[in-house]
Amino acid sequence: MIDIMFFLLVFFVMITLHMIPSSGIPSRLPGSTTAQPLHKPDLTLAIDKEGVIHEGSQTFTPETLTSMLSALPDHAQAQVTISGDRDVSLQTLIRVMDACRAAGVTKIGLAARHQAGGTEGS
């Protein structure tokens, strides 16, 4: 009986771990007073403050990102969320969005931290 209980405990822990989305790299998300929750994306890209694109433990250039996204089955319907550090330049963000669009991905969301008030947070 104890074996069954341990099995169930391990099973629920494993299921719970897979329900938590990959957070990628630590970053300071920009704040937005109008941020809204999005549906769970098919892919979450993180951009660190040096401008390096991460997906899980892999890093990409805009060209390799386009190749990877093009290889996805049904990539035209894929939903991608870009989570960029607030210190990332706008040009870097545009390059990543262009790489996604070059692969045929048009459903692109930007991650932001909900912020009360109207000014930049700390």
- Using CA atoms, how far apart are residues 122 and 119, in angstroms rounded to an integer? 10
Residue-wise pLDDT for 52-63, tens only, equals 899 888 899 999
- Provide the pLDDT confidence category of residue 108 given band limits of 50, 70 and 90: confident
Q: What is the CATH number of domain 23-114?
A: 3.30.420.270
Using the structure block, give the residue that is written with the tokens 């870009």. 82
| Domain segments of the chain as ranges | 23-114
- Provide the pLDDT confidence category of residue 122 given band limits of 50, 70 and 90: very low
- For the chain, strand residue ranges (E) read 31-32, 43-47, 53-55, 58-60, 79-84, 107-110, 113-114
pLDDT above 60: residue 10: yes
Residue type at 104 in one-letter notation? G
- Using CA atoms, how far apart are residues 82 and 110, in angstroms rounded to an integer? 5
- Using CA atoms, how far apart are residues 95 and 120, in angstroms rounded to an integer? 24
Supply the pLDDT for residue 39.
Answer: 67
Q: Please compute the mean of the pLDDT values over residues 7-21 and round it to a whole number.
A: 67
Least confident of 14-28, 55-69, 83-97: 14-28
Tokens at 53, concatenated: 């694109």
**pTM tops 0.75:** no
Do the Cβ atoms of 85 and 27 come closer than 8 Å? yes
Least confident of 9-23, 62-76, 101-115: 9-23
Do the Cβ atoms of 85 and 49 come closer than 8 Å? yes
